[in-house]
Structure 1
Amino acid sequence: MRVLSCATTSVPYATVEVTNPNKREVRYAAYVHFLDSSGDELTVGRAEVDVPARDSAQTRVPVPAGAVNVDLDYCEAEPDAERAE
């Protein structure tokens, strides 16, 4: 999974791309850590996305309510999305 764009005060979500290596479609949970300029975690966002077999899909991971502020500096995605349950 990789971050395509991070959240800002005017765009309260990160856009990520999730890749599915499996032979069938899978629903994944994507987690993004929203960090300040010191690298301290402000919050974690989560979104689910259906990814076709052996393909990629993009999804928006919202910043949890109240967490978008001037301290938000960058985003980091969990390296691997996990199967949503």
Structure 2
Amino acid sequence: MGEMVDINDELVRSVVTVDDGRDYTAQLVWRMGNRRDMRNGVSVPIPPAPKVSAVRVEAQRKPRKRGYRVVQKAIGSV
């Protein structure tokens, strides 16, 4: 079918967006309270990031061009 591609390759990263389907909310909240826990002498293990959806690889969208170049030249923004 297709060739295997290294997802971590910089060229691939600039063309596609990879979503691993995990929910990192609990880990983000844990990181926000990490300094507080260290200061208070509490050791809380990092919570897991559960799988909530399938892995998605989708092409990055090109930004929409706003306005016409002639108009932009007239106002001096180009």
TM-score (norm 2): 0.26
Higher gyration radius (CA):
2
Greater percentage in strand: 1
